[in-house]
Amino acid sequence: MAITEKEFRKRLQEQVLVADGAMGTVLQSVGDGIGFPYDMACLTHPEIVTDIHRQYIQAGARLIETSTFSANRVKLSAAGAGEHVVEINRTAARLARRAVEQTASEVEMPVLVAGAMGPVGKPLAPLGTIAPEVAFAAFLEQAQALLEEGVDLILLETFLSVEELRLAYDAIRRRSDLPIIAQKVFIEDAETLRGGLPGRVAQEVGSWEGVVAVGANCAIGPQRMVDVIRQMAPYTDKPLVAMPTPGLPQQVEGTVHYAVTPEYFGHYAQTLVEAGVSIIGGCCGTSPAHIRAVARSVSGLKPVLRAPAAKSVVRAPEPPTRPAPPPAAEGSRLSRLLGQKYIVTVELDLPRGLEVEGIIEGARCLHEQGCDLIDISDGARARLRMNPMAIAHIIQERVGIEAMMHFSCRDRNLLAVQADLLGAHALGLRNILAITGDPAQIGDYPLATSVYDVDSVGLIRIVRHFNEGLDLAGNSIAHPTAFTIAAAFDPLAVDMARQRDRLKRKVEEGAQIIYTQPIFEWSVLEDAVADVSRHGIPLFFGLLPLRSARHAEFIHNEVPGMCIPEVHRRRLSELEEKDARKYGIEIARDFLSRAKAITQGVYLMPPFGNHKVAAAVMKAL
């Protein structure tokens, strides 16, 4: 039975409302074949879900959440359960309501059922690949199912992004005026507090009509949660909600454990109420025992009356006086050469093991021949190779020629992406080619996990943020980086409309150079030049010297985005191997000689990283 905003506010005036704790980690501890996503337990183990709800109510919770944190179409589809969205949400609401009914005789105050909704689990575009409209539709579908089953209110939790939180809020408001509790995650980071972020969030989210309480949950323990709530309190009149974790997690034999005792958790519950909290529960790792301690600690307490909210916008405080910063990082030699000369860059194959002398010698020879840049791929075709950061650094240090380090999104989550960028810059690497990366299943280890927290467009945005002195979350990285950002463009993509749209987005996000796949036909190059020139940035066209008829047939028929003119394939088939290699170099030279007039650089990809072939083609210049 739904509750009105007026009724909810009246209830919070009478006493602190105790909420429940974690569902997922408790289900994990139960075992019994319950796997991820835990929301599926509503269908596979309904009696266990109901019993956990019942335990929380008996521990003192008077607000329980449906087991639907991950039950939106985007998250469930990633787990192969997208078709169960409506069924899971409706069943979860019924199970929570059943637990309330079963314990009705044991409680004096009615227990509220909140429909729990979390984020879609992947960054939204333009950073990630999930379009905002897709996320909105997922939130709308989930909210509709929960509302139809009769939850009392909706609880939005564990949102990292205020923008995504707003999408979920808008989806709910489109279907109902039911009260909404909105919570954001704040990381364990003093910079967040110094920047005044909790206050800014409280002010913005607290102003949304229908939001009856605003606060924070997950990621941080009770002590840091007190700091967050104290920053929020002056900037909203809305009741505050806090649902911390019982400390920081640790892995023990493959299972996540939290060390904070119920007694400690309960002690800080009272401190949180004194800081201004009206609703208090727990997040990951919080058990019924923790909630029992909370209920005892706040028993009989009324929410603290707070002063009217500040009307001014919360601003980050002035940073403390620090020594003068060092000079800005020096940019790449490449960035200074752009527009001054025709750029020649050659991709050399990474070693499969530890032997690096071959690639070092190749880079040295090419440097002597006038090559400007050495390209180092990052797990191309998902083959196991040395980390490109290491070999790019070695080449720059030992040869004295700059490297263009390809940077793939496949193997790195958002944390690793940013950590590796910082590491690369510290090693003196200044050129980054942002690529999405080939999926792991096509390579040496097909069972390896492909991450793809972001794609190449999102990666470009991250690098641009770094060049502006900020990480993805908007925190300072102390000093701006000086990366030159390159991006890829496939002029023979199956869906050229989408490819051109991605090109536009890459440039808008900060790409400064465009690389293409190998091009063998003049008309294809002209089209690529036309597409890229609209954006006013340099184009380095891909050039791959053919080595044999077999090589040409493989590329033409088996490699996506490649097209070898029939005249070249026929001629190669007529030649002996030695003559075929000469012919491949000749047609590459001819193509480069013509292409120099309409492009700004060439990206040479000699077969098997053969630097001698690349040097032979470069003679055309």
Amino acid at 138: A
pLDDT at 433 over 80: yes
Question: Are 280 and 347 members of one domain?
Answer: no
Rg (CA), the chain: 29
The pLDDT tens digits of the residues spanning 564-611 come to 999 999 999 999 989 999 999 999 999 999 999 999 999 999 998 899
pLDDT at 323 over 50: no
Question: Are 362 and 273 members of one domain?
Answer: no
Pairing of strands 17-18, 277-280: parallel
The domain containing residue 67 runs over which residues? 5-298
- Cα separation, 242 vs 543, in Å, equals 58
Interacting residues of 19 by C-beta distance below 8 A, sequence separation 6+? 61, 62, 63, 64, 65, 114, 241, 243, 279, 280, 281, 282, 291
From 39, 155, 50, select the one nearest 86 (Cα to Cα): 39
Mean pLDDT over the full length of the chain? 91
Question: Which residue is listed with tokens 């019982």?
Answer: 246
* Domain annotation covers residue 374: yes
Question: Could you tell me what percent of the chain has a pLDDT over 90?
Answer: 75
Question: Are 426 and 528 members of one domain?
Answer: yes
Question: Are 204 and 346 members of one domain?
Answer: no
Domain total for the chain?
Answer: 2
The pLDDT tens digits of the residues spanning 458-517 come to 999 999 999 999 988 777 898 999 999 999 999 999 899 999 999 999 999 999 999 999
- Residue 339 vs residues 167, 594, 601: alpha-carbon distances, Å: 43, 18, 10
CATH, residue 529: 3.20.20.220
Under DSSP, is residue 211 helix (H, G, I), strand (E, B) or coil?
Answer: strand
pLDDT at 320 over 90: no
pLDDT at 326 over 90: no
What pLDDT score was predicted for residue 309? Answer: 74
Question: Are 9 and 76 members of one domain?
Answer: yes
Mean pLDDT of the 521-532 span? 97
* Domain annotation covers residue 415: yes
- Cα separation, 460 vs 15, in Å, equals 49
User: Alpha helices of 60-196 — where are they, by DSSP H?
Assistant: 73-78, 85-102, 132-148, 162-175, 190-194
Question: Are 101 and 249 members of one domain?
Answer: yes
Question: Are 352 and 272 members of one domain?
Answer: no
* Domain annotation covers residue 129: yes
DSSP 35: -
What pLDDT score was predicted for residue 141? Answer: 97
The pLDDT tens digits of the residues spanning 39-90 come to 999 999 999 999 999 999 999 999 999 999 999 999 999 888 999 999 999 9
Instruction: Specify the higher pLDDT residue, 307 or 295.
Output: 295
* Domain annotation covers residue 96: yes
Under DSSP, is residue 506 helix (H, G, I), strand (E, B) or coil?
Answer: helix
Mean pLDDT of the 297-319 span? 73
Question: Are 255 and 399 members of one domain?
Answer: no
Question: Are 347 and 409 members of one domain?
Answer: yes
Helices (H) then strands (E): counts for the chain = 24, 18
Question: Could you tell me what percent of the chain has a pLDDT over 70?
Answer: 94
The pLDDT tens digits of the residues spanning 150-173 come to 999 999 999 999 999 999 999 999
* Domain annotation covers residue 284: yes
Mean pLDDT of the 7-22 span? 92
CATH, residue 281: 3.20.20.330
Secondary structure (H, E, C), 357-411: HHHHHHHHHHHHCCCCEEEECCCHHHCCCCCHHHHHHHHHHHHCCEEEEEEECCC
